[in-house]
Amino acid sequence: MAISEEKAKHVAKLSKLSFSNDELKDFTDQLGKIIDMVELLEEVDTEGVPFTSNVAQSINVMREDVITPGMDRNELMKNVPESENGYIKVPAIIDNGEAGA
């Protein structure tokens, strides 16, 4: 097994995902198999080989600092699940009720 259940739990936390115990077991098992597959790369000699992150020709694209019309605020708010007075509304940030926020 290439990954422990504890490790999978930690990765789930970093990913902001939660799983039931059964799901976590399945995931640990499947992730382990996938990680075994990708560890095939260890046999490739990459000493001194440059890293490719992107094949695009240009790296930084600059433009003049000129204001152009953006998107309409009211339009943007249309897809917001919950809003109040034109603001996006979310529950309290801290657990112990409204007062905690």
Partner 1 sequence: MEKLYDKSLTELHDLLVSKEITATDLTRATLNRINETEKDVDSFITINDEKALELAKAIDLKGITESNPLAGIPIGIKDNIVTKDILTTAASKMLHNFNPIYDATAMDKVYQADMIPVGKLNMDEFAMGGSTETSYFKKTKNAWDHSKVPGGSSGGSAAAVAAGQVPVSLGTDTGGSIRQPASFNGIVGMKPTYGRVSRFGLIAFSSSLDQIGPLTRNVKDNALALNAISGYDEKDGTSAGVSVPDFTAGLTGDIKGMKVALPKEYLGEGVDAGVREAVLKAAETFKALGATVEEVSLPHSKYGVAVYYIIASSEASSNLQRFDGIRYGYRSENVKNLEDVYVNSRSEGFGIEVKRRIMLGTFSLSAGHYDAHFKKAGQVRTLIKQDFNNVFEKYDIIIGPASPTVAFGLGENINDPITMYMNDLLTIPVNLAGLPGMSIPAGFSEGLPVGLQIIGKAFDESTMYKAAYAFEQATDFHTKKPVILGGND
In the bound complex, what is the minimum distance in angstroms from residue 44's beta carbon to partner 1?
A: 5
Closer to partner 1 at the Cβ: 51 or 85?
A: 51
Distances (CA, A) of 67 to 20, 63, 64, 75, 77: 49, 11, 9, 19, 22
Bridge partners of residue 83, in order along the sequence: 88
Residues that bind partner 1 (CB under 8 A): 3, 7-8, 10-12, 14-19, 27, 30-31, 33-35, 37-42, 44, 46, 49-58, 60-61, 63, 71-72, 75-76, 78-82, 88, 90-95
In the bound complex, what is the minimum distance in angstroms from residue 53's beta carbon to partner 1?
A: 6
- Burial string for 42-56 (b: 16+ CB within 10 Å, else e) reads eeeeeeeeeeeeeee
